[in-house]
Amino acid sequence: MIDSARLRQFGVFVAGGLLCAGIDVGLMQLLIMQGFHHTAAASAGFVAGLMVNYAFHSRVTFDQAASKASFARYMCVVALNYVLTLGCVALAVGLADNPLAGKILSLPLVAVNGYLLSRYWIFK
């Protein structure tokens, strides 16, 4: 059974993730509309979202001060999630010429992976 504190924490994590996803996807779409290649646009959105994400989750979700160790662990998860994101975008481009669909497909995968690794490894 999930206790109310963990359920609340997951809710905060999801809310922070939605904020970051808005930044991520919004910047990606803006750059694509400006003529950037979908890989560059997805990368820029991902980087902007991850910076806000680390700050939000370290301070708000997990109530910890940022540290070099937690940031290093966070960056390992970011690398994994980055590859997952680009894979989803490339798949959607290959199947439907739709990078946004790939980005949206990657978001829940990245969110679940990010929460579990954040709770049990990054901010332990």
The list of the chain residues with pLDDT below 70 reads 1-2
> For position 33, what pLDDT does the model report?
97
> For position 74, what pLDDT does the model report?
93
> For position 3, what pLDDT does the model report?
85
With b for 16 or more beta-carbon neighbours within 10 A and e for fewer, the 87-121 pattern comes to ebbeebbeeeeebbbbbebbbeebbeebbebbbee
> For position 92, what pLDDT does the model report?
97
CA dihedral 114, 117, 118, 124 (to 10 degrees): 180
> For position 124, what pLDDT does the model report?
81
